[in-house]
Amino acid sequence: MPFRDVVGHGRQLSLLARAVQRGSVPPTLLFAGPAGVGKWRVAQALAQGVNCQALVDGDACGTCRSCDRIARDLHVDVLTLAPDDAGTIKIDPVREVLSRTGYRPFEGQRRVVAIRDADALNEGAQNALLKSLEEPPPATMFVLASAAPDALLRTVRSRTMRLAFGRLTSDDVVRVLTRDHEFTRDAARRAALLADGSVSVALALGSADLTSSRAKAARLLAAAALHDVSARLAVAKDVIGKPELSRQELAAVLRVASSLTRDLAVVHAGADRGTLANGDAADTVDRLAAQLSAAAARKAFTTLDRGLSALERNAGTKLVAEWVAVEI
Ligand SMILES: [Zn+2]
């Protein structure tokens, strides 16, 4: 997918297109930004751009043999690394990829080593990369994509040029969902409202049952009014349920809870209720507004955000639910 088909990130894309046009793309890049905003798509578009046989204003044509092979993941000079089933990138696949960078590109102009979720590289794998990041082999460039760039070793960070990606707008998320994921416009809007600018979150919410997620989210928020720790732990147990919620389902609950806290802020401020994300559950919002003050809602928002980060860092679901219920 060329840059022009990527949704959002206009500034980053025009920077990259100019660099492709001039042949001045830095050899080591770190795409840093939230999960599910399209960093990996941009990395692929960049790999196409630097290898395209019919470049148009710094952007890949999308149809030449090279663009086509990259899109289908068949191009021998575009090497990708991604976390294994255990969620890590170990040293062996890294060594294997590096051993292939010792030669000139076979079919393209520039070899691209693209690393998805680069924060999953274990320490040995990161150390194995250092020398290549410092002195990239001729005609080779590295693109690391990460939602948690600060989890990378300082030495890796200092050898890469960081390009920051922000969250998508709600309209952009709707565009991606309707264009690429067969969402109806209404379903896309609903998911986008809660997705916090991330397509992957929207997709997770789309598959989770919103009504049940919202009921659990409301129960979790109401725990803020409980003084007794054991009562709060009982709420966590109830939210996790049986069979236990998956990581994705719990993340959906926390995100819905987070959107409810934003709605509480709207209600407490007496602002236009038309902007409520959970406008279709106005009685739930009003009930919670009676239980949680504006300050309590703000504190809950911060706690939920920290709970979500812990989940993204692979903390256990039960532990996160308990921590949130106690701290909220
Ligand atoms: Zn092309």
On average, the pLDDT of the chain sits at 92
Compute the distance between CA of residue 311 and CA of residue 87 in angstroms, rounded to an integer.
13
- The least confident of 101-110, 206-215, 218-227, 289-298 is 206-215
pLDDT over 80 at 209, yes or no = no
Residue 187's pLDDT is 83
Give the distance (Å) from ligand 1 centre to CA of residue 63: 5
Phi and psi at residue 146, in whole multiples of 5°?
Answer: -155, 140
* pLDDT tier for residue 203 given thresholds of 50, 70 and 90: confident
Q: By mean pLDDT, which of 33-37, 44-48, 111-115, 140-144 is the weakest?
A: 33-37
Residue 250 has, within 13 A of its CA and on its CB side, a CA count of 32
| pLDDT bucket at 208, cuts 50 / 70 / 90 | low
Q: How far is CA 164 from CA 156, 193, 247, in A?
A: 16, 23, 26
pLDDT band, very low/low/confident/very high, at 239 (cuts 50, 70, 90) = very high
- Ligand 1 centre distance from Cα of residue 30 (Å): 24
pLDDT at 87: 85
Query: 56 C-alpha to center of ligand 1: Å?
Result: 9
Q: Distance from the CA of 145 to the center of ligand 1, in angstroms? A: 23
Distance 17 CA to ligand 1 centre (A): 14
Q: What is the mean pLDDT of residues 321-325?
A: 97
Give residue 53 CA to ligand 1 midpoint distance, Å.
5
Concatenated DSSP letters for 208-234?
Answer: S-HHHHHHHHHHHHHGGG---HHHHHH
Q: From the CA of 97, how far away is ligand 1's center (Å)?
A: 24
- 260 Cα: distance to centroid of ligand 1 (angstroms): 45
Q: Does the pLDDT value for residue 111 go beyond 70?
A: yes
Distance from the alpha carbon of residue 60 to the mean position of ligand 1, in angstroms = 5
Query: Range with the lowest mean pLDDT among 196-200, 206-210, 254-258?
Result: 206-210
Residues of the chain with pLDDT > 70, as a percent, come to: 99
Which whole number is the average pLDDT over 147-175? 94
Measured in Å, residue 93 CA sits from the centre of ligand 1 at 28
Q: CA 131, CA 136: separation in Å to the nearest integer?
A: 8
Asked if pLDDT for residue 224 goes beyond 80, the answer is yes
Q: How far is the CA of 24 from the centre of ligand 1 (A)?
A: 18
Hey, what are 155's tokens? 């030495």
Spacing, Cα 68 to ligand 1 middle (Å) = 7
In whole angstroms, give the CA distance from residue 103 to residue 12: 30
Cα 108 to middle of ligand 1, angstroms: 11
Q: Which structure tokens are listed for 31?
A: 């795409």
Residues ≥6 apart with Cβ < 8 Å to 54: 61, 63, 64
The rounded distance, in Å, linking the Cα atoms of 317 and 112 is 36
- The CA 201 to ligand 1 mean position distance, Å, reads 31
Binned at pLDDT 50, 70 and 90, residue 207 comes out as: low
